[in-house]
Structure 1
Amino acid sequence: MKKAYVKPSMESEMFVPHAYIAACGDTEYGNYLFECDAPGGRLYYYGKDWWGNQEANYLGNYTPCNRKHEASRADEFPDGFIDYNRNGREDTGEAVVVWIERGAWGGIRNAHATTNLNRDSWETDKS
């Protein structure tokens, strides 16, 4: 049996993705540029006590550094307040969002606060 000669041919297909998946530059996984701009005072953040009740936790005296810090979206950003009149509770105009910067062993290394309560409007960088 003789084999017939078949002329070589090349076929190509165009790749068309069905879904968009970004590895780099996706702001969903990028970092916040957290602006430390809240006025100074006694800084508190809200957390849960042993029984699951919401309570205000005192972090210490706060002084803004007026810088933008790169903060992972996975970090803690609890609601809080700066107690300007030192009465131990949140009053009108004292609300802030706190970024708790953790150290290598999980302890609080530093705390920053912003008066911009709308997290959706925070500036981000790309991963």
Structure 2
Amino acid sequence: MLQDIKKLLERNALFLAILATLVLAFLSLSAIPKINLGLGIKSGDKYLHFTAYFGLSLLWYFALKKRINKKVFNFFVPLALIVYGIILEGLQSGLTTYRTGDIYDAMANTAGVIVALIIFNRFIKWCGTI
């Protein structure tokens, strides 16, 4: 059963990564109400940015890990995700009147991408293969 689930996820990993990328763009550029996490933390939305890009990165890392060279993977995939986050922040400022781009949001996005890469590479080393 677990092998079947693993094969299903491997076959659909690229589709899931693309879908998550599109959903993130939609959510980033749409008018959604402010979310109060109830944590009493100032700038709590930065945690949402970190988590969103952490999850997006893991999806892309799993989708592309066997498709491209490891050196290219470790440089260009995170770079593309970081640039994607910066572009979305810029689009929020330029295309919408109800959203604003924020350098700290871009930094939280970048941190999520980098932490996901570190954890992913450690996990791959630890497991050998997934």
The normalised TM-score by structure 1 is 0.22
The structure richer in helix per residue is 2
Indicate the structure (1 or 2) with the bigger Cα radius of gyration: 1
Which one has a larger percent strand, Structure 1 or Structure 2? Answer: 1
